[in-house]
Structure 1
Amino acid sequence: MSAPSTPSGTLLQLLPEAVVQADARWEITYLNPAWHRVTGHPVEAVIGRSLLGFVHPDDVGTFRAGMPVFRLRFADGEYRWVRLQLHPESDAAGRVISRQGVLIEITEVTEQILVEVRQRFLRLLETIDGVVWEAERGIGNTFLSPQVERLFGYSVEEWRSDPGFWRTHVHPDDLAEALAIDDAAYNATHSYAYEMSYRLTAKSGKVVWVRDLCRAVVEPGRPNRMIGLMIDVTRQKNTELELLRSDNRYALATRGSNDGIWDWDLRTDALHVSERFHEILGLEDTPHVHDGGWRFLQQRIDPDDRGRVQAAYGRHLAGERPNFSVDFRAFHGSGRLVWVNWRGVAQFEDGVAVRMAGSLSDLAERGSSYDGLTNLPGRPLFRERLAHAIEAYRDEAARADAPPTLVGTMMFAVLLLDLNRFKAVNDTLGHHAGDQLLQQVARRLEACVRTGDLVARMSGDEFNVLLEAIEPAEALERARQIVAALEVPYDIGEHTVASGASIGLVTSTPGMISVDDYLRAADAAMYAAKSRTSGVCVFPAEGSGETQPG
């Protein structure tokens, strides 16, 4: 192959240094005669072959990246250090089309060039925020970068003067593990990368956390050696330890509250829950991460409560509430329904909710929200459910374009009932008998209502019922069914007890705006019902067929 186009083609033929030219794919396109003299390879046998095929495999990466000093395979099969600074030539589009340079065997370079290379290497080391090191068994560190003094206070000479220096300065609590890793590297049968973290005692006595990125180098005919980079990670380690202590404190606090904890990534729909969360729902031995967060929750929430749950956290995500808290019935792993409280708060980025977190409580264990005697929800839960029903009804009724059928689905009724002759049972048969009567009344009330309705014990012998999505006439009929069911005698031990109930009924109306409005109206109707033979009094009177109490 002819020489490259150059005004000094003859001069290149006469140069004592080897001139090398390769194309963009590293294929050799030109060599002057000095190539044969320097490397021993005939020029004709090399033209057209890849230059990278002559570079030591361990040096190919750095050579391609622009490092001019590398090992080249000579004709005798030995690799020798050479210097070849290739200068790329590009086309109009900036693409490399060829590379040219002069090859010099390293033994022939001047001392000035060696000093230049060393200075460049040291300047490179100064940019690394860590200590670069090399070590061999029995010798200790054969090389240490100057940063060792800045990070640990020891000079390079102090450190290298003692082959066992590193081992004697590793923290005693970390020494056994560090030595095991170190010995494994010295006895390795193949090269490999590894890392370890440990504490090192600095010259000042301060303990420094070190992350050591290492490589065991195994070469035939010579002892194993290690090279690595020690980085001071004290600040990061202290942050990790503080986070761990904080997590432990938080974990202890949550265990003390007996609540289940959850964390929901809304971008991926991954729901992370604690062990206590699963315990409340009877789902022990279940993975703590659910990839489909809402799908998992839907399966646990009673279908009649799902819409209410979605509405509760939906108002929070829409910015209408600072957080959310909702009580609902959940399917327990045993198949039964349990009342739980689910509450939380969202994290927003640029106005978009990206994450929610909070807790889950078993309401059966919270006396203020749940009645332990009758196993019914208590006053707080009933008020929360009623407030939700009032808000949904008012929102739909206020919309001028809302179809009547939609408003009708938001209608509801509140029943307040008081047992008749309950005090007499307590006085004659004792409080234990009175408790059994209340428990039987609770079960009969649950049997009289639909799945989505709510029965609650407010206090003493007073119960409330919330009937949702119901017309006034149907609510009245349901109240009469309850009266009939409660009039059937009760078997309490060896005694048969006759009792009944007086019920006050109030249906949804735009004129009432608060929970207390409805409860006061139901209470007034209930006292009026005590004088009625039907046992039921409706407030207000429109369309009920009953007389409004006066």
Structure 2
Amino acid sequence: MLVLICSGSLSISLLHYLAEQRQLQQQFRLNDQAQSYAGAIQQELVRTSTAAYAVAAWLRLRQGDLNEFPVFAQSIYPYYPFLTAISVAPEGVIRAAYPAEQNQALLGFDVFRDPLQAEAAKRSLNQSLVYLSGPYQLRQGGVGIIGRLPVTLPQDDGEQRFWGFVNVTFKLDELASLQRMAQLPTQGIHYQLWLDQTEQPTLILSSSNSTFQPTAEAQIQTGTVNWRLQLAAPTSQFSTVQIWQVALAVIFNLLLVSLSYLLMHNLVRKKELRHLVNERTADLQTQLARHRSFIVASNTGSWEYDPEHQQLNCSPEYFSMLGYQASEFAAYTEHNLQQLWAELLHPADRDKAKAVFEQYQASEQSGLYENHFRMRHKHGHWVWILSRGRSIVTEQGKKLTVGTHIDISDRKESELKLQLLARLFEQSSEGLLITNAQQQVVMVNQAFCSISGYQAEEVIGKDPRLLSSGKHDKNFYQQMWHAIAEHGVWKGEIWNKRKDGSLYPEWLSISKIEGPEPGEIYYVGLFRDISQYKEDEAQIRFLAQYDALTELPNRALLLDRTEQALAVAKDQQQQLAMLFIDVDRFKQINDSLGHQTGDQLLIQIARRLTSLCRPEDTLCRLSSDEFVLLRPNTNAEMAAELAERILPLMLTPYQVSGHELVLSASIGIAVFPQDGQNFHELYRHADIAMYRAKENGRNTYCFFTSEMQRYHARHLLLENALRRAIENNELSLVYQPQYSLQQQKLTGFEALLRWQHPELGLISPGEFIPLAERSGLVIPLGEWVLKTALAERASWQQLTPAPLTVAINLSPIQFRQPGLLTLIDSLLHASQLPAEMLELEITESAMVEDPAHAASLLDAFRQRGLRIAVDDFGTGYSSLSYLKRFALHKLKIDQSFVRDLLSDADDRAIVQAIISMAHSLELDTIAEGVETAAQQALLQQLGCQAIQGYHYGKPLPAEQARAFIQQQLQT
């Protein structure tokens, strides 16, 4: 009997231990399942809620305009598979929903008037995050959860005004599909999902209609509300004793009873029975060790806390995951183990971790305890611990809290890396752009937005070609993508375009990477704006070619500019002047007043000389007090006039460092081609002439050749004669016919000025017109031409009703004349000619000198019906910008392009380009200087609309022009 009692007690103890171990393992497994499903639900809730933020950002960008809402909602809807509907509710009333067909019932629904949703809607007004509530019986059918995000828009006073809500809806049965949670009941495990949004929790999902006793619980954090996922396993899964264990106990008892019986009846078999008992005992120990190995292999430490006595018991794994052996803490009592836990906590985590644990103990809840903290490893580093537990009551009625410690350092490290990568992505000074294989932008960072001017929502889903500057051809991009396909990466300099249309250079690196799914490809573009680098590079080039003090070109750049100007002069048979300017007695001032004063004086001198330069001129500082002015397309007479402007300008007193200084200059002039064929010859000859000027007493200029006197004398003679030409009736007009190639008829004449001097004979317009412009005589000359041409054109009116135009050239000085518009109005009124009979020819340079004035004046001309032609098009400041801006009718192709049209491919290409451009801008074209039938035929083939030249008619006096008109009418 004693043996039977002992064996029974031993069996019961063994079964109780095995049951506890099995129950603990099953509890751990169920806890992990709850955490896994809770994590999946939390991730999907958070991810799905981001749809509301995207729509809210879109609404703020569009100031609440819903016109394009279906298009935008359609673009983001595929990324949220658990969404049932996306809707927007201005002032709380749903006005738009997507998908539209399935959600028609939502339109007009006022959330503030609905008794079920009004309270939740009001609570969400104070939230900056998506506020989840429900469950509700959805108007479109089914039961679901609704997430609301209040949207505010900025007002003129800077305050934010409530606009309405963005709503995202998903059905409850979609949540159960996460990670196959809906299949849990087939495994004997039921679940419930609670929403803790008020004092009374709301049941969201349940897989069981019967009494539910949760055995595992996990918290779900969504920002505004808390969720709880509870799992319940049937008691059969937590039975304290398995069948095989009972059977083992019964067998064990039977063996002991039999052993006792045999011992009493057969002492001879004592040794054999003892061996049998030892063997069975070893088997039991093996099984116990195997069960314990399960815990060891999972690297999970277990603990047990007795709140009544405040005692903490820990498993060996509790210490081993921190690098310790349990024996190292043998000196600690059970009370001290709780103190040891606190000592091992990270200082930053200690107070919070202790507070969470103490709060759980004080709450006397049966829910899940969960805590995250760091504990110090034996080697000094910190280990992230996930501590989970639950309060239980033993069979003896004793309350305990049992739990586990799990090392989650790897997970925390991964989360930290993701956070660092996200921060790096957003805070990087270099722009980042990621596209998918379909060349759609999927992600950009803040630096991209700062550099490009685009907001993220403006480019997500778009083709990155919207950034293209247009500066690179198709071959450039083909080579780029070939390199990416061949090597997986491309790096180089590229020009892109900002949102405001401005272009900027960037250094771009494109890498091809594989996505998380098989065959998924992404392209990552990393770039930086190198505008500053380009500016620095330009500054370096500037310092290599310019004087640091005055910022004028140095000798190296002067040499280059001179060679270019000489090439143009030789090609176009022009002259070129080089003026060598030496500041008289500068060395004395520099030595007496100091170099700082001398430097400031040189800067002022450079500014004065620069004020006399044209855009095509080059002013260079050679040495301390020597300057060279290179002036293309300038003859000796023009160079002398320039020198005469420089000398008095230099004599004007300078105010420098409190001193009033008066300086003069000596100027030497050399003119290409007579004074030199290259830079060195011109420079040397100008230098010699400058010294001759110094010898002549300074404050003067001197030419290298003696021809200047003759030119200068003629200049004075012509200027004086021109002043009397109008009074002496020496001026006349001739008219060159203009012929339409399309209509095959005369369309008008160009009035050309002629000067017949009684002694000097016929003076070329190329000689006296520039003289008139320089002397100011062009104003009275221009008025005489307008008056005479309109009067003579009026006399032809009786010959034909055809609208023959008369074209008159306006010089740039006339174009700037304040009373020009009034003068033309009065002359047209006096001649009684329609305004469309007058065509004004204006050079490009006259219009671009003051674009605002030109645009205003040309608009006034056009409103009156006057026709405007651009004279000598292609030889001046040709630009598409002014062609679009100004009110023009016709482009006049310069005769320099027509002269060699048949033999020069470049001239032919230029003419064709001008004609094509004019057609595109709906402008007429006329070619001047047409001398042959072959030129006319080619121009007609190229699409030119009209011609003017000796082939059709030479310039005719007024009477001969009348006869020409009559002849044209007859033929």
* CA radius of gyration, larger in: 2
TM range, smaller chain: 0.3 to 0.5
Question: TM-score, normalised on structure 1?
Answer: 0.44
Question: TM-score, normalised on structure 2?
Answer: 0.27
* Higher-strand-fraction structure: 1
